[in-house]
Homo-oligomer: A and B are copies of this chain.
């Protein structure tokens, strides 16, 4: 009998993701927030052919352009557990796709938190993905592109610089890594260019989103945390809780007291202290946490290995144990009264 049960269990595990419980949504959709009209003048008009074989048409780089808007997609479960929507803000060089299907084809945090009963809003920061980007006439700097091996060596997937190799047999992943290294190529397909001069525009668009959707809970990853804490400082009444997943720097120390009524969870993966870059970011985060606490606020700093969750790189939402981390986050949010 136990054998039959075990084989049934194994066959269930082998089924594709689509065979899980259905997702029942009372709605899904998308919108853009923020943005402004920018003017360009003095550039030469030219004639282009928009599609091969099509008629020629005028291309005018002058005039008004809509720029710095932000794309947001939402999924609203029928069995809603909280009145507070959960916003997911991605990290640098990436888009909201971080939270969708994992590179190795499993469900990501978007689906998991919708299944847990949260209204989830996933956005692409200004300049990334479906938010579009502005011309160099409007943003003076050039975009930066992510080298194929860079995240492997920098995101604590491999053992630092020199650990990537085009030959998988010669790659040196961190032993016991939870990152789906066999699907690294699919992860790199999620990477998009980023600018280094658009922080103010990104923060403005996040503020516009918060003004539209919140009060809410915000889950922010990496660079998303750097933006998110600054947005929280501007709109403390709208943030009911913050989950900062390996926030890559935090807010402005002098403004930290603004967050004194917002419960904050700071999560860190494995091997952070062994990598100077991540140790530096963590120090910035915990210093900011101390400043919130000094003002009477509450910050839980959790290093996952300390609670028995080991092997995590910087990309916690797409790793083999992403469900365990989602459970930890959900449990913490419920404990803060966010599902009441």
Are A190 and B32 neighbours in the complex by a CB distance under 8 Å?
Answer: yes
Contact status of A66 and B188, CB under 8 A, knowing A27-B17, A193-B133: yes
Q: Which residue from B26, B97, B133, B147 sits with its C-beta under 8 Å from A63?
A: B147
Are A53 and B249 neighbours in the complex by a CB distance under 8 Å?
Answer: yes
Min Cβ gap A100→B in Å is 4
Q: Mark A22-60, 1 if CB is under 8 A from B, else 0.
A: 111111111110010100000000001111111101011
Cβ of A189 under 8 Å from chain B: yes
Are B186 and A31 neighbours in the complex by a CB distance under 8 Å?
Answer: yes
Are A63 and B149 neighbours in the complex by a CB distance under 8 Å?
Answer: yes
Q: Main secondary structure on chain A at its contact with chain B?
A: mixed
Residues in B whose Cβ lies below 8 Å from that of A96: 130
Are A64 and B192 neighbours in the complex by a CB distance under 8 Å?
Answer: no
Give chain A's interface residue range (CB within 8 Å of chain B). 35 or more
Residues in B whose Cβ lies below 8 Å from that of A27: 16-20, 23
Residues in B whose Cβ lies below 8 Å from that of A24: 22-25
Of A20, A28, A30, A111, which is in contact with the most chain B CB atoms at under 10 Å from its CB?
Answer: A28
Are B50 and A248 neighbours in the complex by a CB distance under 8 Å?
Answer: yes
Contact status of A191 and B30, CB under 8 A, knowing A18-B76, A54-B280: no
Residues in B whose Cβ lies below 8 Å from that of A146: 65
Contact status of A30 and B145, CB under 8 A, knowing A132-B193, A223-B51, A284-B54: no
Q: Which residue from B66, B145, B226, B280 sits with its C-beta under 8 Å from A189?
A: B66
Cβ of A332 under 8 Å from chain B: no
| Shortest beta-carbon contacts, A-B, top 6 | A18-B27, A32-B189, A29-B101, A132-B192, A64-B148, A69-B189
